[in-house]
Every structure is written in structure tokens, then in C-alpha cells.
Structure 1
């Protein structure tokens, strides 16, 4: 079959979603299928089908739809946050770009996030099944990032509506963990609309990469701690710095390497300096040699405040390294405390510090956790098993053995942009469904009125 894997995120990038997409594509091709990838280009000014030369500039669509969307939101009886308006402009641009690049000819579309899922569900030709893999909960991440501050009413309604409609804009949704299954259920996504399929990894390729040479040499006379995660509030780096500050009071025979980048880097570097951690903590930025850095490390730590099924945990287990994790999200499904790793309460820097000290002091414990984690990882993170399960779900949709479990309420009684859609159909022979609206009427309704999602 011919398959389109689609994501709203920039591709390529450093992170689990890109690893998943690459591994899934390679596995499906090994099973005999033809696979394309639709994504935002790294320049963030265009969209493209990866490695095909098919590409379209965002400016082809944005100027026309921006005026329409802003006018509709400006006319509403309650003020709408400009961030929401911009999000919807970007969403609509992605949908029209997908239509321009062409969705006919694919047997199935596999979206990788709630944004691309919602966009493609509205723009795709009738009869082409759409499945989505949801890699996390954007609304829950957003709430965690606020650190106890209440969001504006309209933004929270928007976040909940985007989660619900994005997850249910498919014939079937795939989630990697039971935690995410429960979490999306709290946003009213029907439980029987979702299938739990844990991630798999190309284990042989990863183990080969651990043997590669890298230019970053960790000191051998210290216990080397590695935290591989993007610098985002939900990853818990601030809590880790507090834990390291406590650890420094009792011992200084360790170093911690933060691998990853993000908008929190400057803030975290300042905090490390203020806590007197500069000699002990290194911010290495984004790197493509994480597997070999893991090989050099003694302990892997991931102090997430919210997470789904982080690849860093899978990689640490396969690299035979002891891991210290938080109990956030789906992580407890990956680590058994005291057997395949150690687990601390999310956000509890004191407990995190005590676990770090225990691992530094007790090398036999580190070795036992590493050995058990490696055995577990080899059995649990099979890429062929994941790919075969996904292929089975494709076949269920194509043979119509599966009946869609989610349904959307009637649309908010608005339909916008008919003239714009007609222009694009005629000017570029784009296959835009008659039902497509430049403004997502469900989202508008969810913001204006009391949303059902909470």
C-alpha cells in the first residue's frame, strides 16, 4: 500500500517523534509498502514531502486566509487571544499545503499529532482512511508549563478543543501508553477510539551508534550523570538543578551533562550559576551523538514533570545504563522502581537528590539496575512488533473491519472562505472538499460557548 506519514512539526528535528517517523517508515518499507512523509520544512516558511522535491511556500496561502480568519474572530462577541488566531492561521495553511502537494493516490494517511490530524481530516479526499498516533497531550503539557498559574478562559477552551478534535479527527487513534489513553479520555476521547501500541526501536542500529566516537569526553574521575532532554518546563530541568544543589552539599565527585536545547536554556544556565553549580553542570546543547554519550555516562536521569513514553528511557535501558526517572505520565509503565531503575516523585528535588546519591554510592545497585533494564528493553522495545501491529491496524481500516467510534457534534453554523477555496481549486487544481472551511467552526464554537471538553 502507499502510505503518507504526516506531521505538523518541523522535520527533521531532534526528538522522539522524528525517531518514531523514521523507524516506522523504514519498517513499513521493509514490509513492502511505499511511504512518504509530509511535514513543515526546517526553514518554517514552507511545507514539503521529504526527499521528493515536492515543496510549497507558506506565503502562497497565508496572506489570503489570514484576512478571512482575523475578520471572523474579530467579529465574535468575546475577545479572542491573538495567539489562538495565529495558531488557526498556521493550521489552515498546513491543510491547504497538504491539498496542494496532493493527497490522492495514498491508500492511508497516518498523522503524528493532533494538529496535522485535524487539518488532514478536513482536507483529505473522501474514502481515504486516516489514522493518527498521538505522542503526548499538548493541553496537559500546557497546563504543567504554567506552574500553577491559571490560563485565560479562551486559551484553555482552545487547548481542550484542539486536543479533543485533533485526537478524534481520525478513523482510529494510536497511543503508546495506557497513561495517555486515560489522559485523552479525560478530554472525552472515547476509549474504544484508541489502541495502545508501545513504541519500538531499531535496537541494532542504536547499539551500533553507542560505539561511535564523539568529540565530547566526559571526565573519568567523576560519576558522570547525563540528562538527555529538550530544555522545556515539562522536562523538569529546574527540579534537577535543585536536586544537584542538594547533592553538592554532601559530595562533589560528579558531573552532570544537560544534552538538549530549548527556550529555557538561558534561564537554566542562570539558575545553575546562582546555585553555584557551574563547575558541576555542563549545557552541551543539541547533539547527534547521544548514544555514544550514554555509553560514557554512569547514570541517566530524566526528571520529567509530564511525559508519555520518552525515548531517552528506552535508549538508556538498551545502552545498559542505570536510570533515574520521575513518576510522571507514562514513565511508570517503562520502569519498575528498584528493579529496572529508580523512580522519584515528579518535582520532588529532595527525593531526586537522595536517589542520585544512592546511585553514586552504590555501584552494585547501578550494575543490577542496568542489567535488568537492558533485559527488559530488549523484550519490550521491539520495532518489528510495533510495525506489524501498525500494519494490522491499517489493514483493519482498509478492509472496513473497524467502525469509527468517535463522532463530532454538528458544526457551529458558520462556513467561511468559499471564494478563497474556489480560487485555489481553479488556480492550482487543488482538490479541496466542498465541506472545507477556512475557519474551523468546531474550534470557534468551543471557544465562544461553554466547551464540553474539560
Structure 2
């Protein structure tokens, strides 16, 4: 058997149509996965394939375009089973429950040995007795060998709320390439200069999809009081989403549109963060947000809601400020505290950079994920794959 044939073939299954934190998580994992042991393939809807194609091609990761939207998508379900059998896939690693529900039963039918789900977020949008009973989740978990929680809080949600079998849940905290966010120096090209923002104007970055989950409406309500004291402050909102028009109308209604820039999706998060003075994330729920880790790595203080896994990254009063969600008054107070005390803010940023470099580097996430792959392979008694050597 050739070295190529003996690689562990892993399908990363995504059933989403937009790019967000989950998709960035997958891209980072693929970038640093040990290619001497693993051969990854991405299976995702065509619209997402178009968004990710350039980056995946640069990483030499193949794409199989497929979308399973309902149990009646028989044609695509059969195509997926055929693909798995033809490619002799060893592991199907789905991201979010919607994706594991669509892929893991089919994977088992195709003879795939191992199925894994990464559960990236608490599903707070699920309402009603039936949806929050999570019976469907427990049913489909029978076809899942392991569920990776991206934070300790995420694991608690899986165990205590969803009622997932404890032996199936393992924690691998999110990570980033901390080297890409050099906190030691300001960038040569500043976002402020590019956007015509005066260099001495405070810049507060908010990188998040414009969706209800992210709590932008409460942030905008807080801004009028902030600009009364700091009339030159600028809030840079980077991200796209269904609330774009509504949020722009809200900013105009509050007469703060001069202080708020809707920048759309940005691929230069490093530059944006290193040009900013504060990062703010007013989410209503999360998993373990990559962007908070990125902001800390860039050396700027973070103000974020104390939801789910976020407190695992932000140490309140040390690396940033944790606030309650849905509270514009608390947002105002926290922003003013950091603007009024720039030395305190600077020290928070420095401590945050040190903390995430020690605890949230991508190498730790990749190592933990690869360890789960090999542990499951060994547990299944797959001797030919268990003998794939570690290449360092």
C-alpha cells in the first residue's frame, strides 16, 4: 500500500451557505492538519464552495459540492453515499448539528468507520417544546462516535441541556494562528488612514455577522451616550448579514451614522484589529468566538458579553471586560471606562495577548483534534490506519 493510500481520508462536512466563525474554524484546522497522516476533503453546498474555493485550492484541499437540505433530497443523499464509498472515506467530521444530522446516518450506510461532530455553538435560536426537548439530537447522536465541544461551556450545554451520552463528548477549545496577530507593533498600513479616520480618533472594532445573535442593536443603542463624551469615536462594524439594512436605519434614526462605519465582510481581520483601540462583541450567545481570541492576540482590550465560552478567553478586569447581554447601559459604561483610562486599557491588551498565546494557539486545537482522530481509530480496531506514523 502506498503512503498516499494509507493516509486517513477525512471529509469535513459543512451544510451552511455563508462564511462565519465555523467556516473559519474549518479553514484553520485544514491549514495546519498533518498532511503526511491525513488527507482532508471538504463537502459543502455550491454557494459555500464558491466562497471558500480560492483558500481551499491554495491548501490543496479538494471540494465535493453537495447540499442535503431535507430528508427528501434523495438524489444528493445517494450522491453522497456513492462519493464516500468511491473515495473510501475513513472519517466524516461534520460541523454543527444540522450538518451531522444530514451526513452521519448516510456515512454509516456507506460504511464509513468514524463519524465526528464539532458542536460550535449553543443553539439558542431553537424555540418551542419539541425543538428544545432535543430528542432528535439524541436520536441522531447514535450515528455519531464523538462530539467535539469548542469550549467547556459548550460541553456543559451538550451534556446538561441536550442530554448527550457523556462518553461521546470531548473538549477541544478553539484556537488561532497567534503569530498572524502580532501584538508588538502597529501595522504599517492603518485602517484609520484608509477610511479617512483621524489617527487620534478612538476606533472600536466589532467583527461579527449582522445577525440577531450578535446583539448589534444593543450596541447601537449605547453609542449616543458614548459620543456625547467622545464625539470623534468611530465604531467599525465588519460583517454582512440579514440585519444590514435594519441596523443602518437604526444608526440613522439615532443620528450616530457619522460615527458608525458598516464595512461589510473583511478578509483582513489582522489589520483591522491591530489598527483598533478596543474590540467589542455584544453577542447573545456563542460557542467560543475566534474573533475574541484574535482581538486579544492583537493586543487590544476586549469588551464582550459573558455568554457561553467567551469567559474562557476574556478574564474580566485583567484582559478585558465581561458584560451582561442585551444591556446598552453596561456597554456604554464599559466603553467609557476604557476610553477614560487608556493605560488600563493598554495593560489589559498586553495581558490578553500573553494569555491567548499560552492557551489558544492553533497548534493546541490541531493536536487535540488529531488525537481524537487517532483515539477513535484505535478504539475501532482499525489496525491499518492506527499504524499510520506520527510525523511531527
Q: What is the TM-score of this pair, normalised by structure 1?
A: 0.72
Structure 1 segments, 4+ long, off by >6 Å, are none
CA distance, structure 2, for counterparts of residue 368 and residue 328 of structure 1: 24
Equivalent residue runs for 1:181-330 within 5 Å: 181-185=155-159, 186-207=161-182, 211=187, 213=189, 215-330=194-309
Relative distance call for 1:206 and 1:329 in structure 2 (3 A) is: same
Contact 2:280 2:303 (C-alpha < 8 Å) held by counterparts: yes
How far does residue 162 in structure 1 lie from its aligned partner after superposition? 4.7
How far does residue 288 in structure 1 lie from its aligned partner after superposition? 1.0
CA distance, structure 2, for counterparts of residue 221 and residue 270 of structure 1: 28
CA distance, structure 2, for counterparts of residue 8 and residue 268 of structure 1: 27
Alignment correspondent of 1:451: none
Relative distance call for 1:271 and 1:3 in structure 2 (3 A) is: same
Q: Alpha-carbon deviations, 1:161-209, whole Å to 9, x = none?
A: 4544455541011001111111122121123320011012122234499
CA distance, structure 1, for counterparts of residue 72 and residue 227 of structure 2: 48
CA distance, structure 1, for counterparts of residue 354 and residue 265 of structure 2: 29
Alignment correspondent of 1:75: none
How far does residue 382 in structure 1 lie from its aligned partner after superposition? 2.0
Return the index of the structure with the highest Cα Rg. Answer: 1
Contact 1:257 1:283 (C-alpha < 8 Å) held by counterparts: yes
Alignment correspondent of 2:134: 160
Query: Does residue 80 of structure 2 align to residue 98 of structure 1?
Result: yes
How far does residue 369 in structure 1 lie from its aligned partner after superposition? 0.5
Alignment correspondent of 1:7: 14
Q: Which moved more, 1:341-350 or 1:186-195?
A: 186-195
How far does residue 31 in structure 1 lie from its aligned partner after superposition? 5.2
CA distance, structure 1, for counterparts of residue 174 and residue 115 of structure 2: 19
CA distance, structure 1, for counterparts of residue 175 and residue 36 of structure 2: 16
Relative distance call for 1:382 and 1:401 in structure 2 (3 A) is: farther
Unaligned runs of at least 5 residues, structure 1? 63-85, 144-150, 403-454
CA distance, structure 2, for counterparts of residue 118 and residue 265 of structure 1: 30
Alignment correspondent of 2:34: 29
Contact 1:117 1:132 (C-alpha < 8 Å) held by counterparts: yes
2:323 to 330, 339, 344: 344
Q: What is the TM-score of this pair, normalised by structure 2?
A: 0.83
CA distance, structure 2, for counterparts of residue 216 and residue 231 of structure 1: 20
CA distance, structure 2, for counterparts of residue 379 and residue 96 of structure 1: 45
Relative distance call for 1:56 and 1:181 in structure 2 (3 A) is: closer
CA distance, structure 1, for counterparts of residue 266 and residue 143 of structure 2: 35
Q: Alpha-carbon deviations, 1:212-231, whole Å to 9, x = none?
A: 84644543131111100001
CA distance, structure 1, for counterparts of residue 202 and residue 76 of structure 2: 47
CA distance, structure 1, for counterparts of residue 49 and residue 198 of structure 2: 39
Alignment correspondent of 2:385: none
SS at match of 1:8: coil
How far does residue 396 in structure 1 lie from its aligned partner after superposition? 1.4
Contact 1:134 1:167 (C-alpha < 8 Å) held by counterparts: no
Query: Does residue 111 of structure 2 align to residue 126 of structure 1?
Result: yes
CA distance, structure 2, for counterparts of residue 388 and residue 141 of structure 1: 32
Contact 1:2 1:108 (C-alpha < 8 Å) held by counterparts: yes
Relative distance call for 1:134 and 1:15 in structure 2 (3 A) is: same
CA distance, structure 2, for counterparts of residue 256 and residue 370 of structure 1: 18
Relative distance call for 1:43 and 1:171 in structure 2 (3 A) is: closer
How far does residue 41 in structure 1 lie from its aligned partner after superposition? 1.6
Number of equivalent positions = 360
CA distance, structure 2, for counterparts of residue 216 and residue 14 of structure 1: 24
Alignment correspondent of 1:174: 148
Relative distance call for 1:220 and 1:169 in structure 2 (3 A) is: farther
Unaligned runs of at least 5 residues, structure 2? 1-7, 382-392
Q: Say what the alpha-carbon RMSD is for the aligned residues.
A: 2.9
CA distance, structure 2, for counterparts of residue 348 and residue 268 of structure 1: 17
Relative distance call for 1:30 and 1:101 in structure 2 (3 A) is: closer
